Structure 1
C-alpha cells in the first residue's frame, strides 16, 4: 500500500530544533520558506493561505495526533491577516519537533491537485518498482480525483490492477461521499483530520452512515485513529476500547493504526490489544440482522452472482458449516460472499488466468489474492498455475504448453514460430478431477490452520461448466 501526501499544507522547520509555543501568545504563518522557524514565526509551503482564511478561522498544526489537546500539536485561531502573512492566537501550549509539521485549516478548500507532482513521482518510481496492490488517495474530494488517479496508474505506471482507496478527510469529501464510493475500490475514514473539519458530535454519525454504505456496496472500509492514548501508555482508555469494538460492530473491514505504531512506545502491545478487542466484538456481531439488511438493500430480482453468494452464506449458516470455500478468478464472487458477513471464514481459492498485452503473456491472480486480504472474513489462496487448471491449448497444432510458476511467457524470442497461433490460445476447460484436486488442497489448508476438523460441514461455491453451484460436503476422518 502506498499512501499519497496529497494537497497537504506543511510547516517547514529547516533547523529541526524543537519549537515551543505558549498558549495566549501570537505566532505568524508566512509563505516565505527561507525564513527560520521559531516560536514567533512558522514558514509554510503555501502562498494562498492568507486568501483562503478569515479572522476567527481555526488552524491546527502538528506532527502526528493533530487534535490540539496534547503536547505535539497546536490549535490556532486566525487573529489578523497582513499581506501574505497570517497572524494567529495560540490556544494551547505545545512543543513541535522534527523538520515538517502538517497544517490543516478547518472547512477551507485548498486549491491544489489531489494527486500532486511529488505523489506522481513516488508512484512512478517506488510504486511501479514494487507493484503496489493499493494506492490510498489522501484528501479525496470528488469522484474525478479517483478517475484521474486510475488513469495515471494505468497509462503512466502500468499499474492497471492497483486498487484505489479514497481517504475521506474533510467536508468536501464527505459531501461527495456517495459518488466517491461508487468510483473507489475502498474507503478509509481518516477520522483524525476529519474530526477537525466536523464538530465532535457529528463524527460518529458520519462513521456509522459511511460504514453502512460501504457494507451495502460490498466495498472494504477502514477506520483510523482508535487508540491514540497507547502512543504513550500500555493500555487504552475504556472509551477507546469501546470505540474499537463499535467500529467492528458498525461493519469496518480493518483498523488502521497510526502514531501508536509509528512513534509509539508500545507498538506490539497496541496491535495485540486492538486485535483482542476486534476478536471479542466479532463474536457478538449480529450476523442475522445484518444478512437481512443486506438482502433487503440489494432487493429483487438479484443478479446471478449476488444470488449465489447470498445462498452460499445462508446454506453455511443453516448447516453450521465451519467454512465456505469459493473458487474465483477475479475475486468478485468471494468478495460478494464476504459482503454478507458469514459467521465462518471464507477461503477464497483464486485460479490464475492467462492474459496478454500483445507483447508478453502474464498470469493474473496474485494481485486479486493479495487484495482480498483487506476484506473482513476473507482468506485467499492462490492456485498453482502449473496445475492442469491453467493448461493452455494451441488449437492450430494441437500441442500443449504448461506455464511454469508466475513467470511471463515470452513469445518474442520465437515470434516467427508462434505468431500464427497467438490468436488461438485459450484456457483449457476445467474438469471435475481438476476441481476436486484443488478442493482437496483448500480443505487440507483449512485443516492445517485449524479452521476445518473431521466431520465438519463445508459449503463450496464453484463454477461447473457454465453453471454456478453451491454444494455442501461433510468431511470424514
Structure 2
C-alpha cells in the first residue's frame, strides 16, 4: 500500500467546510467521460452536459446500432458548435460479453432459491425458468459452485435489478443455476458475467471490427475502449488493425480491465496501452469485496507512475434514478481523485439516468473539492523517486516546470508542444494549477503543398501567390463548421476562437484535418488544449513563439484564468534548447 495523498497540513476550521466553493473557469482538473444514450442524446441535454464538464463522449456499442449512435453524434456536433466546447469521442467495443436474450422484452421475475436454466438455444423464449444466452461454450467453462451474475446494462448492486446465480449442475450444453436472490429483469438484453471464469472468445469480435472500420473510421474516433482486455497481445493486435485503417492510426487505445484475467496481466497491458479503464462493475464482482479498494489504489498508482491516463467507472450508480448521490458514493468519487484518477466515467448514470446533466455537475464539484486537499508535494516527491536518476531530458524539463510553478504559486503552466508528449509529462506530476497545452503544428512545404502534422494535418495544393495573407482552412471535421471556410484558427482551453484571414476566391482547397492531440488531452487530468495558429510552426523562432504566448495569455485573461500580477510558468523550445521560464503579468 502507498501512503495517502490527502493533505491536511493544519487542523481546518470545521465551519469553513460550509463556505461556498469559489467559482472557477475549470469545473475540475479531473475529467468526466459521459456515456451517451436515450436520456442524453438531445442537443439541449448534450449542451448541458458539455457546460457541466463532460469532455469525452462515450458510445457504447453493446447496445444500439450504428445509425442510432450516428444521430447522437450528429447532435453532439451541434452542441459543440453552440457551446464552443471541445469534446472527444470514445468508441466502446462489445468484446467477449455474454448476454441473455429476451426477444419478447417481457419482464422476467426470478425468485430466491429457485432454479433457472441458462441455455444456448436462442429459439426458446426467456422466462423465470429458462434464460437463452448468446454463447454455446458456457457449459464447458463453468463447474458446480461457480458464480454467475445477470443484470441490465451492467450491475448496479441492487438486488431488484440483478440476480446472483450459483451453478448447481451442468447438463449437456445447459447450465442449471440456483438463484441466490429475488430479482426482476426488464428489457431485451441483459449482461451475463461468470465470475473468475475464462471465456474462450476473441477480445475483438467480428462485430467490433466491422463497427470500428465503418463508424469509427467515418467519425475519426479519438479513443477506442477495448472491452474485456485480458492480455497485452489484445492491445497489439488492435493497434495493428487501427494502423491498417489509416485514418485511425492516431486513435488511442484504452484497455478496459474487467476481470481477474486482465488483472493478472495488468503490468504488460499497461505497457502496451495508451490508457487504462478500471471497470469496477464486472471487476468488482470477480474480486472479493475486501480486495476491490486494494486493486483500485494499486492500479491507479501504476498508471500514475507510467504517466498514462487512468479512468475509473461506477461511482454514482444511485444517480441513475436520484438527484443526489449517497454518502458512500460522494466519498468514493473524492477518493478516486485522491488515489490519482485522471477521469471519471459515467455509464448508466448518463446513458439512461434521469439526471445526466446534474450528475456530471455533481461529480465535477466533488472532484474539484477533492483536488484542493490532494497532497501534491508528497505525490511529486514519490514520482521523482520512482522515475529515478538520471532522468530523461524531457522528464527533467517537465518535473522542473511543475516544481517552479508550485514554488512561485503560478496560476497556470503553459507548455508549447507539437506531439503533446511534453504536456502529458507535465500533467503526470499532478500540478495544482491547469496545464495549458499550446499545440503547435510542424509545417513542411514543397512549394505547392503544405502539410501540417503533430496536432493535426492539413494537406492542400495551393498557389502561394494567390494568397493576400497566409491562411489555412478551418478544420472540416470539427463539429458545426462548414467545409472550405478560410480561417486561421486557435483553440483555447477547449473553446474555439477564430481570427480573420483573407484568401483569394480562386484558391482551390483539398483539406484533411485532424485534431487528435488536442482532443486526446481532454482525458488527462489537469491538461487543457490550445491549438496555435498554424502560421507559427513548431520549429519557429523566439519571436513567433512570443506572439503565440501573447495570444495564450490574452485569452487566458479574458477567460478569467489569469489575472494581473499572476505568475505563469512557460515551458518551450528555443532553438535546440528547452526552456522553463517564469513570467509575472503586468496590469
Distance 1:68 1:446 in 2: 44
Q: For residues 476 and 133 of structure 1, do their structure 2 counterparts lie closer, same or farther at Cα, with a shift above 3 Å needed? A: same
Distance 1:440 1:355 in 2: 25
Per-residue deviation, residues 435-471 of structure 1 (Å, max 9, x unmatched): 0110011112211221110111111100000110001
Distance 1:470 1:138 in 2: 40
Greater helix share, 1 or 2? 1
**What is the count of residue pairs matched by the alignment?**
436
**Residue aligning to 1:411:** none
Distance 2:201 2:450 in 1: 38
Give the SS at the match of 1:37: coil
Deviation at 1:69, TM superposition (A): 3.5
Large movers: runs of 4+ above 4 Å:
359-362
Distance 1:311 1:334 in 2: 13
**Residue aligning to 1:121:** 210
Deviation at 1:250, TM superposition (A): 0.4
Give the alignment's TM-score, normalised by structure 2.
Answer: 0.73
Per-residue deviation, residues 194-239 of structure 1 (Å, max 9, x unmatched): 0010001000000000000100110000010011111222211111
* 1:319 maps to which of 380, 389, 408: 408
Instruction: Show structure 2 runs of 5+ residues with no match.
Output: 1-89, 456-514
**Residue aligning to 1:153:** 242
**Residue aligning to 2:182:** 93
- Preserved CA contact (<8 Å) 2:156 2:317: no
- Preserved CA contact (<8 Å) 2:217 2:245: no
Give RMSD over aligned pairs: 1.5
**Residue aligning to 2:527:** 378
**Residue aligning to 2:150:** 61
**Residue aligning to 1:163:** 252
Give the SS at the match of 1:265: coil
**Residue aligning to 2:54:** none
- Preserved CA contact (<8 Å) 2:118 2:174: yes
Q: For residues 90 and 96 of structure 1, do their structure 2 counterparts lie closer, same or farther at Cα, with a shift above 3 Å needed? A: same
Whether 1:350 aligns to 2:439 is yes
Deviation at 1:282, TM superposition (A): 0.3
- Preserved CA contact (<8 Å) 1:373 1:379: yes
**Residue aligning to 2:567:** 457
Whether 1:281 aligns to 2:430 is no
Q: For residues 354 and 13 of structure 1, do their structure 2 counterparts lie closer, same or farther at Cα, with a shift above 3 Å needed? A: farther
**Residue aligning to 2:267:** 178
Deviation at 1:97, TM superposition (A): 1.4
- Preserved CA contact (<8 Å) 1:68 1:74: no
- Preserved CA contact (<8 Å) 2:441 2:452: no
1:29-108 alignment runs, 5 A limit: 29-67=118-156, 69-108=158-197
Distance 2:241 2:450 in 1: 22
Q: For residues 257 and 430 of structure 1, do their structure 2 counterparts lie closer, same or farther at Cα, with a shift above 3 Å needed? A: same
**Residue aligning to 2:316:** 227
Give the SS at the match of 1:77: strand
* 1:434 maps to which of 544, 559, 563: 544
**Residue aligning to 1:415:** none
Deviation at 1:360, TM superposition (A): 9.8
Per-residue deviation, residues 47-83 of structure 1 (Å, max 9, x unmatched): 1100100111110011134155331111111111110
Q: For residues 159 and 192 of structure 1, do their structure 2 counterparts lie closer, same or farther at Cα, with a shift above 3 Å needed? A: same
**Residue aligning to 1:337:** 426
Give the SS at the match of 2:131: strand
With CA pairs under 8 Å and 6+ residues apart, which has the higher RCO, 1 or 2?
A: 2
Give the SS at the match of 2:245: helix
Whether 1:141 aligns to 2:230 is yes
Deviation at 1:89, TM superposition (A): 0.8
- Preserved CA contact (<8 Å) 1:68 1:75: no
Distance 2:159 2:337 in 1: 27
- Preserved CA contact (<8 Å) 2:101 2:134: yes
**Residue aligning to 2:98:** 9
Give the SS at the match of 1:92: coil
Whether 1:470 aligns to 2:580 is yes
Distance 2:362 2:308 in 1: 26
